[in-house]
A and B are shown apart, each in its own frame.
Chain A
């Protein structure tokens, strides 16, 4: 009798699921079935976090000018590609050094699952070593993407690429090790469930320094406090981008439970979505005091603000707390956008307001609203301060060195012409401008 390959495969899988079950149950209390379920959830969440890169690409494209679209997208593409690779080379092991002094540790270059890495022994049956790496790797890249929005339309591509490399490979992982890697802030009781502090505020500080050091885009700030807005080029894309980011957050927060625990994961999805909704509405209502004509981009920022705000404690907030935190974040982001314009820091997409302002708010909110009595406002405040100090010192130095060596801002003529043409020699739209296209002889592609 010849057995079909698929039948043999199914038997083997069945056997694999059944046989070690008893052994695992004794070692870890987690059955093979639960381990598989946990790991599958974590891998699905990894894919959701990856979707955030689609979201960022769309939002940044939508809120900036068409003449810079290729440049924005190229930066986003570079960040995810280089970020994952550097996380493989050293980032993961800087962030999770194992036993270390709490401030800096390194578990070696490259990856090594070890004997137990891909068994239920690795993370209490929550996920495998490989899943751990790739899930965290997706987070790492989002950190630099936050910066790319704030420095858009005038940063030199080479300077940004070097910055992003160092930021994701070294600065972010070391900062992350202090809490998620079991470092000194973790020992102190500081809490950041899914990264309001570690990802969003760290990215936010980077964005702030970048935008400040670069100065505003040409034409944005005039004499005597004059402010000229520079509208984005594609509102549909911006809106789609925010919805994609919200979708990504299902995995960003859902996966930060680090297992498929039914109660926690479902609670987290609830708090996350309620905060997003409250953030959107909070922004709409507070912007109404600025103008009675609702601004779509502010509402979109509001949704993101709510998401960032809840991220520090989505698993320790009640639904009603999540709504309050989201609503406050929505109000904060509106005020913050207007404030940064007033103090002449140009942030084309509102990245600093969404990620830094609301990242700090989310971190502190844990100290106010957490259902866990071990969390304290003071510890959260110390965490905010520590990350501020560390990130500011690192990023200021990095940008200062780049500015002194290769320069960080493009020349005026390049900025006026658009970075697509000056940095890339190609456009994102109206690509047929040479007159050889039979359909669009003048390059006026849309007929």
Chain B
């Protein structure tokens, strides 16, 4: 099925577009790849929230909850991904918001994949900008967790 159609279907079932927070965590002077990713997501048909630069996991979690996104996506600064993901998952859990899923991209060695999936990551983007295959995987994730039920598969409190 075409990406457009999949999104239309999602909207019909969930009552809104897939909403994703593109967050910028860690120390970076500028973040063009993050902006590029946000643009691609919006062009795809997602509602995209962008965070300010230099966010901490806790701030990211708060913004994701306040804007009520389905997914948080961020590009990890080198060698920070394990730490950031762990912290982010913890921050979401502390607010009863585990239903918000985590997607990351950036330079991530294969050897860390197992740890990341275990720590709460649902999808690792191999290419930035994301290609069609990865957009489809993202939509799979939206469908799994945002499908008509506001709470997805997670518990309420």
Report whether chain A binds chain B: no
